[in-house]
């Protein structure tokens, strides 16, 4: 069932109508006895939000979405208790941890219970080639634990200091490391997951290998992730490198040439010169008259990267380990790429928003050049290079000047009109409209087992219909 990006802006969300007036919230709270239950409105509001403020559309759409109760959990038994209560009273249940998502994944469209799993934060086991951690464990903490064994994560989001592994699995696509190791769904990246069902007698379901795709990028709609096991690689002390070019086409051509298995890169991103005022800590390392390529390069490959940059007219302005950059007051390369580019801009100028673009492959830099010419100062270009399915690909997270919702959709239509571009729309709340473009039948079928009453994060997938819900 393919779903296209709407030709016009959304006017609401896809949430089902839950009559919560029937719910005895005093009884609900009584049955949550022993847990950390939050009822004060300011805290409920805070814990009912994520980084959807990147989108003015979602700011308006989600402004009034607040949980009736927030529960902080710290053990699996706590999770079981919350799942039972939600099922017994048939109230919506939304799971959150770090809240670093940008699309309202952890916003309760229908109220109900928000369960904060950030207390489930233990790294459970590390073995050669793998690490198992609870869903609320921060990606950074997992990486630091892995490094003590001489290993490191294969990929992580740019917000890894706050982002949890459960949130990354349930809402992520790829990230830092995807240049080397592909996207999350590529074989060998996700190994195992344990999921607890939302019903009056919750069950634990174990998923392995490709089965994890049943909950990966499902926005927490079909079961509560308890812990996950992901792959590790031997640790590399990556060199964070900035290469400057006099033209953006030069930066893109360099990135295309560097997209080869012969170069060991963990990150490869291009950022045009008009971003430089927003990278305030870079100073003259990213001047306003130069376009930048941010990379994380293995020590074994840095000589080849230097030589390639010289041949293609580039100049290296930064090269050092993460600690060396931090000691010099410079940001690591991963904070200059992916959706950190949007964050850097919004820190300075809140009149921007963004779009996500997937380009036809093989990537043609002329498509980006055309967009530079067509949109002028309304759109700033930034591209990330990565692998997916074993092949190199190119994605854009571009800044768009906010001039109202109609203008945003004009930009979408123009980009998709030529060059084989596809927009992953960050101004909608459903999985399908935002990125996947089709209902994932495998995830919907799993929801019948993991969330048979349809209580989890309702409104975030168009594949689930009210009549699918199992009676209490």
260: exposed, middle or buried (Cβ count in 10 Å: 0-12, 13-18, 19+): exposed
Output the pLDDT for position 4: 38
Structural domain span for residue 347: 239-424
- Model pLDDT, residue 8: 45
User: Tell me, what CATH number does 390's domain have?
Assistant: 3.30.70.3450
Query: What is the reported pLDDT for 18?
Result: 73
Domain contains 12:
no
Q: Quick check: is 45 in a domain?
A: no
Does 217 reside within a domain?
A: no
In a domain, 341, yes or no: yes
Q: How far apart are CA 293 and CA 399, in angstroms?
A: 17
Are 110 and 47 in contact, with CB atoms under 8 Å apart?
no
139 vs 177: CA distance, rounded Å = 13
How crowded is residue 136: how many other Cβ atoms within 10 Å of its Cβ?
Answer: 26
Q: 230 lies in a domain?
A: no
Q: Can you give the pLDDT of all 472 residues of the chain as single tens digits?
A: 333 334 444 444 555 567 798 999 999 999 999 999 999 999 999 999 999 999 999 999 999 999 999 999 999 999 999 999 999 999 999 999 999 988 899 999 999 999 999 999 999 999 999 999 999 999 999 999 999 999 999 999 999 999 999 999 999 999 999 999 999 999 999 999 999 999 999 999 999 999 999 999 999 999 999 999 999 999 999 999 999 999 999 999 999 999 999 999 999 999 999 999 999 999 999 999 999 999 999 999 999 999 999 999 999 999 999 999 999 999 999 999 999 999 999 999 999 999 999 999 999 999 999 999 999 999 999 999 999 999 999 999 999 999 999 999 999 999 999 889 999 999 999 998 877 678 999 999 999 999 999 999 999 999 999 899 987 6
Split into its structural domains, the chain has a count of: 1
């Amino acid at each position: 069932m393919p779903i296209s990006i709407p030709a016009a802006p959304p006017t609401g969300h896809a949430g089902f109508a839950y009559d919560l007036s029937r719910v005895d919230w005093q009884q609900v709270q009584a049955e949550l006895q022993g847990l950390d239950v939050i009822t004060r409105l300011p805290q409920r509001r805070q814990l009912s939000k994520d980084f959807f403020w990147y989108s003015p559309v979602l700011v308006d759409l989600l402004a009034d979405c607040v949980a009736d109760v927030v529960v902080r959990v710290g053990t699996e038994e706590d999770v079981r208790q919350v799942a039972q209560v939600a099922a017994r009273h048939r109230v919506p249940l939304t799971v959150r941890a770090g809240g670093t998502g940008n699309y309202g994944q952890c916003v309760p469209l229908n109220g109900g219970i928000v369960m904060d799993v950030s207390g489930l934060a233990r790294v459970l086991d590390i073995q050669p080639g793998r690490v198992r951690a609870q869903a609320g464990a921060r990606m950074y903490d997992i990486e630091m634990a892995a490094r003590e064994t001489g290993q490191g994560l294969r990929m992580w989001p740019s917000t890894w200091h706050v982002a949890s592994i459960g949130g990354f699995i349930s809402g992520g696509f790829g990230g830092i490391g995807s240049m080397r190791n592909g996207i999350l769904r590529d074989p060998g990246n996700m190994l195992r997951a344990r999921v607890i069902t939302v019903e009056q007698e919750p069950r634990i379901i174990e998923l392995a290998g490709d089965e994890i795709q049943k909950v990966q990028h499902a926005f927490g709609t079909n079961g509560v992730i308890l812990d996950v096991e992901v792959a590790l690689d031997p640790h590399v002390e990556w060199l964070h490198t900035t290469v400057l070019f006099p033209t953006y086409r030069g930066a893109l051509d360099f990135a295309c040439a560097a997209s080869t298995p012969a170069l060991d890169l963990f990150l490869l991103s291009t950022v045009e010169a008009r971003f430089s005022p927003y990278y305030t800590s870079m100073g003259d390392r990213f001047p306003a008259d130069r376009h930048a390529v941010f990379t994380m390069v293995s020590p074994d490959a840095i000589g080849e990267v230097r030589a390639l940059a010289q041949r293609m007219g580039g100049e290296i302005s930064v090269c050092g380990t993460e600690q060396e950059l931090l000691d010099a007051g410079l940001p690591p390369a991963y904070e200059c790429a992916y959706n950190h580019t949007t964050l850097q801009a919004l820190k300075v100028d809140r009149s921007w928003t963004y779009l996500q673009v997937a380009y036809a492959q093989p990537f043609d830099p002329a498509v980006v050049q055309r967009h530079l010419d067509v949109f002028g100062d309304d759109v700033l270009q930034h591209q990330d290079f990565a692998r997916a399915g074993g092949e190199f690909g190119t994605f854009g997270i571009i800044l768009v000047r906010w001039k109202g919702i109609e203008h945003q959709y004009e930009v979408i239509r123009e980009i998709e009109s030529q060059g084989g571009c596809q927009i992953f729309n960050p101004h909608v709340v459903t999985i399908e409209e935002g990125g996947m473009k089709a209902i994932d039948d495998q995830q919907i079928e799993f929801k019948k087992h993991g969330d048979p009453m349809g209580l989890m994060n309702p409104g975030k997938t168009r594949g689930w219909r009210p009549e699918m819900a199992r009676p209490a």
